[in-house]
């Protein structure tokens, strides 16, 4: 796998090595050994999958300590714009984001460390989205930043008339009204 570093330390794009022939393709979607060597040591404990239609936007989600999660995400059908926002107070990249298109064609994966809010927008008619988490979901630790916060400068590539949000995702605060539970000293990788 090839690791593509982004403008924010710890947030990386992963491109698998794909083998194709007349039968189709094959690639190794995850190797703990290689991930630990090339990205960071992570012990993923839960896999999740969602299916969404065009215009669905999910996020920007995170879990508060001590239930924080790092995520390794990918789109196995369709395409999405996936985004990680740095929410560590005092970080030189606080409030900045990395956006990447993930699709069934490019097979890219996106690693979102702890201390980041995560969300995506569905750009195709349907998208099946999978992600690994390094901590179990804890509903009492749910947190979020408004996915509609224009101060973040995210081009979601979705017509506002097409946007579909859950009721929960309409209630997250703007970044300016948010008191982050993370700071610059927060260890992105420790459990």
Q: What is the pLDDT of residues 125-183, one digit of tens each?
A: 999 999 999 999 999 999 999 999 999 999 999 998 899 999 999 999 999 999 999 88
51 has pLDDT over 90: yes
Closest CA to 95 of 155, 176, 168: 176
Query: Cβ–Cβ contacts within 10 Å for residue 21, how many?
Result: 7
pLDDT, residue 62, reads 96
Specify the DSSP class assigned to residue 55: T
Quote the tokens at residue 93.
Answer: 């990249």
Span 2-183 CATH architecture? Sandwich (2.60)
pTM score, whole prediction: 0.93
> Is the Cβ–Cβ distance between 151 and 177 less than 8 Å?
no
Decide: helix, strand or coil at residue 36.
helix
Query: Cβ–Cβ contacts within 10 Å for residue 190, how many?
Result: 7
> What value does the CA radius of gyration of the chain take, rounded to a whole number of Å?
16
Number of residues in the chain: 191
Per residue in 60-102, pLDDT tens? 999 999 999 999 999 999 999 999 999 999 999 999 999 999 9
Phi, psi angle pair for 32, to nearest 5°: -55, -45
Q: How far apart are CA 144 and CA 133, in angstroms?
A: 17
pLDDT, residue 187, reads 66
Active-site residue among 97, 131, 136, 172?
Answer: 131
37 has pLDDT over 80: yes
What residue ranges do the domains of the chain occupy? 2-183
Quote the tokens at residue 27.
Answer: 């690639």
Active-site residue among 61, 97, 107, 172?
Answer: 61
Active site residue 131: yes
Active site residue 97: no
191 has pLDDT over 60: no
């Amino acid at each position: 796998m090839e690791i593509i570093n982004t403008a924010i330390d710890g947030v990386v794009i992963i491109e698998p090595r794909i083998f194709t022939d007349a039968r189709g393709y094959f690639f190794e979607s995850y190797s703990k050994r290689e991930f630990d060597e090339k990205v960071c040591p992570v012990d993923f404990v839960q896999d999740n999958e969602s299916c969404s239609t065009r215009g669905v936007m999910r996020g920007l989600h995170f879990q508060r300590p001590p239930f924080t999660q790092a995520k390794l995400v990918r789109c196995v059908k369709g395409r999405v714009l996936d985004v990680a926002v740095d929410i560590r107070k005092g970080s030189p990249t606080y409030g900045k984001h990395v956006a990447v298109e993930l699709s069934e064609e490019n097979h890219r994966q996106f690693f979102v460390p702890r201390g980041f809010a995560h969300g995506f927008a569905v750009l195709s008619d349907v998208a099946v989205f999978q992600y690994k988490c390094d901590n179990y979901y804890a509903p009492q630790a749910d947190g979020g930043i408004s996915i509609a916060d224009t101060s973040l400068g995210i081009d979601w590539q979705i017509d506002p008339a097409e946007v579909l949000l859950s009721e929960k995702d309409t209630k997250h605060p703007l970044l300016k009204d948010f008191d982050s539970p993370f700071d610059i000293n927060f260890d992105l990788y420790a459990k």
